[in-house]
Amino acid sequence: MRMSYNIEGGDFSAAGRASSEVKRTLKQFNISPLVLRRIAVALYEAEMNVVAHARNGAMQVDIQPHYISVVIEDEGPGIEDIARAMEEGFSTATDEVRQMGFGAGMGLPNIKKNSDRMMLTSTPGVGTRLELTVNF
Amino acid sequence: MQTTLKQLVEELNFECLSGKACLERPAHAAYASDLLSDVMGKAQAGMLWVTSQVHKNIVAVASLKELSAIIVVNERRIDPEVLAHAEGEEVVIIASGLPAFETTGMLYKYLEKVKSEE
* Secondary structure of chain B in HEC code, one letter for each residue: CCEEHHHHHHHHCCEEEECHHHCCCEECCEEECCCHHHHHHHCCCCCEEEECCCCCHHHHHHHHCCCCEEEECCCCCCCHHHHHHHHHCCCCEEECCCCHHHHHHHHHHHHHHHHHCC
Residue A41: predicted pLDDT = 96
Pairwise CA distance, residues A111 & A131, whole Å: 10
Q: Output DSSP code: residue A20.
A: H
Range name among A11-20, A35-44, A75-84 with the lowest pLDDT average? A11-20
Q: Residues B107-118: pLDDT tens digits?
A: 999 999 999 987
Q: What is the mean pLDDT of residues A39-56?
A: 96
B66 has a chain A CB within 8 A of its CB: yes
Q: Give the pLDDT band of residue B1 (cuts 50, 70, 90).
A: low
Class of domain B3-116 as given by CATH? alpha beta
- How large is the angle between the packed helices B80-88 and B57-64, nearest 10 degrees? 20
CA angle A79, A41, A64 (to 5 degrees): 95
Residue A118: predicted pLDDT = 97
Among A17, A100, A104, select the one facing B38 at the smallest CB separation. A104
Residue B75: predicted pLDDT = 83
**Contact residues, chain A to chain B, C-beta under 8 Å:** 12-13, 15-17, 19-20, 23, 33, 37, 40-41, 44-45, 48, 100-102, 104-107, 109-110, 113
Pairwise CA distance, residues B73 & B99, whole Å: 5
- Give the A:B interface size as CB pairs under 8 Å: 69
Give me chain A's average pLDDT, please: 95
Residue B118: predicted pLDDT = 72
Q: Residues B17-69: pLDDT tens digits?
A: 999 999 999 999 999 999 999 999 999 999 999 999 999 999 999 999 999 99
Q: What is the mean pLDDT of residues A27-36?
A: 93
Pairwise CA distance, residues A135 & A125, whole Å: 33
Beta carbons within 10 angstroms of residue B79's beta carbon: 11
Task: Mutation target for B interface from A19, A26, A41: give the one with most B CBs within 10 A.
Answer: A41
> ipTM of this model?
0.87
Residue B76: predicted pLDDT = 82
CATH fold label, A2-135: Heat Shock Protein 90 (3.30.565)
Query: With an 8 Å Cβ cutoff, are B65 and A37 in contact?
Result: yes
Taking CA atoms, A33 is separated from A27, A122, A131, B29, in Å, by 8, 32, 22, 19
With beta carbons under 8 A apart, name residues in chain B contacting A41.
40-41, 64-65
Among A33, A44, A106, select the one facing B38 at the smallest CB separation. A106
B45 has a chain A CB within 8 A of its CB: yes
